[in-house]
Amino acid sequence: MKSLEKTRFDLMSLVEKDKVRFIELQFTDVAGMVKNLTIPAAELDASLVKGIWFDGSSIEGYARVAESDMYLMPDPSTFALIPWRPGNDTVARFICDVHTPDDQAFAGDPRAALIRALAAAGEMGLEYRTSPEMEFFLLRSGPGGEIIPPVPHDSAGYFDAPSDAVAEFRSLLMSTLASLSIPVEAMHHEVAGGQHEIDFLDSGALAAADNTITFRLALKAIAQRSGLYGTFMPKPIKGMSGSGMHVHQSLVYAATGADAFVDSGDPHGLSQIAKHFIAGQLAHAKGMCAILAPLVNSYKRLVTGYEAPVHISWARVNRGALIRVPRSVESGRARIELRCPDPSCNPYLAFAVMLAAGLDGIRRELPPVEATEENPYSIGVGNIDSNELLPASLEAAIRALEEDEVIRAALGPHIAQRLIESKRIEWEEFYTEVTPWELSKYLPNY
């Protein structure tokens, strides 16, 4: 259903055949929250030709009131029926690109940032492919629908068989994703109680980002229908593993489709291009962190002891490394896995900066450091150079972003400025908050 060759006639025929009454035009703000404009199906043809105008001044990270007029252009390849909508009315959706009145791509549109990064790879004859692994928690709601404090729906562990209720949830989720043509490899229970993971098959990075956004909507809706609450908060429960979004990445030559990362004669199976790409991501790991791990809460996950990466390193078997090189079961293919992103990130911006960092390594032919197969924390934290560690807080990550010209350029000046401003406000709100921990720790004694 997601063919790039769809014409307006094809789409109108599908809308008529499926008796679609309404169309949702979707896009994201800088934070990665999905925004939506609903139009009657009768307006679809006009929207495909000239777009739909909207006021961007109230969208997070978009525009000031004086420059608020912009319009949405539906991407025909993203047409899909929305299977979780209640009621008898059939609803379809398009993911849209945002344009300014002078018909230019809007500089604050996260999807446009990824498209620019992919174009830069295309100029080098390369295509960027990703496959995220999304972790999330399913929580039980209280009698009044409350979700605080968070209560996992079960106490199962890694790869445990699901209960009847969760088995039904999985079946509904997987069938929903199949109807949306989102390619799934597997789904399983994760380490923590109530925690699950779904792994997507490899696809072009733009489609992967679109699918990630769609999955987050689907998961929330289907969990609610099952009487559960789904959350992508990185660390919702103290003492339990956090939720990551490990991203498997590869580059292929656009002209031939051949894998640019593979070299069967190398000990790690990696080409020089792959090693330069790894070196670029390691060099910009700190600068990327505010985009890949964008919340105050993200840095409660990026701590030692829970298999989350802290050390800026790469390896094949060490799952504590920032970048891991999985053993590929496919002959002639290689991929690398970046392990610091979490599922609260904006996937368009995340993939854009990841690609920009890797391409910078290729352009400059950066050599990677030696692979670190031994867990660095087994030799003691005191022996680790602090320059080799990821930022320990959102505030530190913001500073690193401000200092990284390559990552800021990948975002573009508009997004970089708005993102830094909003994250500084978020940090200030957290930093000045008097928490329950402080009250219980200090109030009885001081």
Q: Cα torsion at 98, 103, 108, 112 (round to 10°)? A: 70
Catalytic residue among 24, 29, 97, 133: 133
24, 29, 197, 342: the catalytic one is 197
8 A C-beta contact, residue 8 and residue 49: yes
Catalytic residue among 29, 135, 259, 404: 135
45 is catalytic: no
C-beta of residue 39 within 8 angstroms of C-beta of residue 70: no
- Specify whether the CB–CB gap between 392 and 305 falls below 8 A: no
Q: Catalytic pick from 246, 268, 311, 408? A: 246
- Set 190, 342, 360, 395: catalytic member: 190
CB < 8 Å & 24+ apart, contacts of 388-391: 388/311, 388/312, 388/313, 389/310, 389/311, 389/312, 390/285, 390/286, 390/289, 390/302, 390/309, 390/310, 390/311, 390/312, 390/322, 390/340, 391/286, 391/289, 391/290, 391/299
Query: Under a CB-based contact definition with an 8 Å cutoff, are residues 287 and 361 in contact?
Result: no
Say whether 333 is catalytic: no
Which is the catalytic residue, given 8, 225, 319, 364?
319
311 is catalytic: no
Residue 201 tokens read as 């098959």
Q: What are phi and psi of 107, to 5 degrees?
A: -65, -20
**Residue 238 Ramachandran class (φ > 0 left, ψ -120 to 50 alpha, else beta):** beta
Spot the catalytic one: 16, 18, 55, 438: 55
Q: Which two tokens stand for residue 286?
A: 């700190």
Active site residue 339: yes
Q: Where are the alpha helices (DSSP H) in 97-158?
A: 110-123
337 is catalytic: yes
* Residue 429 annotated in active site: no
Q: Is 330 a catalytic residue?
A: no
129 is catalytic: no
Residue of 29, 97, 210, 337 with catalytic role: 337
Active site residue 133: yes
| Active-site hit among 196, 324, 339, 408 | 339
What is the chain's Cα-based Rg?
22
Q: Could you give the residue numbers annotated as active site? A: 55, 133, 135, 190, 197, 246, 319, 337, 339
